[in-house]
Structure 1
Amino acid sequence: MATAAFEDIAETFDFLDDWEDRYRHVIELGKAMPPMDAALQVPATRVEGCASQVWIMPVIEDGRFDFHGDSDAMIVRGLIAILHALYSGVPVAEVPAIDAQAEMKRLGLDEHLSAQRSNGLRAMVERIRQLSAAAA
């Protein structure tokens, strides 16, 4: 159950030959993502459990989930961009049904991220689930 935006990313990953190209693409996704307003980068929006600084601020409109996110690390910004593609526009009640781990596995991220980055990714997904549950 992935959004069209996430499917576009998955298709691009299918065309990329090796992990270095995919890694570069993740970084490019992060660079293309609009920066989060510095005023929103506060302890209340910080994601605990990430080695890098990560902030996620939910935006709920018409019962659909979205968020602003940012990080001080480019690869992590790219991971946030991928999560944004996965969750943006999904009805709040459907956010918990998304199997982010399985979707990320489709991209090969489960095999190529360090343990520390994988833990941070799990922390971001958990934070998104908490934010959507609070909004539901």
Structure 2
Amino acid sequence: MSLPAEAHVALDSFKQCAGWESRARLLMQWGQRLPALPETKKTDANLVQGCESLVWLVGELKDGHWQFAASTDARLIRGLVALLLARVNGLSAEQLVQVDLPGWFEQLGLSRQLSPSRSNGLNAVLVRMRELALG
């Protein structure tokens, strides 16, 4: 499956990291790039269930391709969610179903830093994206 352009940017930048410290810095930078979600979108209906941190997610279908936006107050999760959005934004519902979340973070060199609760939370975000896409 082909990657969205933003996912290629993420992969290229993370491949240049020498170790965990530079990856952690880059992860925080990706989190800072995540656009703020309007307060009006931070509703219970948009709150992702299954995350230890509060994560709000909204999605919109544009010309057959999904565009998601998300917000969280947890800094590390912000970066991880930003990378997930880079991987999925612009995909069709069919492509979204095929996204391999563990494989994506493995490619970025971040899988060892994902605790089980973070993995579960990110998976909950991806499941919510699929629910929105598949109706």
- Classify the TM-score, shorter chain: over 0.9
Q: CA deviation at 1:29?
A: 0.7
Q: RMSD value over aligned CA atoms?
A: 1.2
Are positions 1:63 and 2:48 aligned together? no
The match for 2:131 is 130
- Which residue of structure 2 aligns with residue 117 of structure 1? 118
Structure 1, residues 6-53: CA drift from partner, whole Å, max 9, x if none?
111111111001112111111111111110011101111111111111
| Ranges of 4+ aligned residues in structure 1 off by more than 6 Å | none
Partners of 2:68 and 2:42 lie apart in 1 by 13
Matched residue, 1:9: 10
Tell me the matched-pair count: 134
Shift of 1:109: 2.2
Give the whole-Å Cα distance in 2 for the aligned partners of 1:49 and 1:20: 28
| Partner SS, residue 81 of structure 1 | helix
Rounded Cα–Cα distance in structure 2 between residues aligned with 1:21 and 1:114:
19
For 2:134 and 2:37, locate their aligned partners in 1 and report how far apart those are by CA, in whole Å: 22
One-letter code aligned to 1:54: V
Shift of 1:61: 1.0
| CA-CA distance at 1:126 after TM superposition | 1.2
Runs of at least 5 residues in structure 1 that lack an aligned partner in the other structure: none
Percent identity, aligned pairs only? 32
Show the 5 A alignment for 1:42-81: 42-81=43-82
The alpha carbon displacement at 1:59 in A equals: 1.1
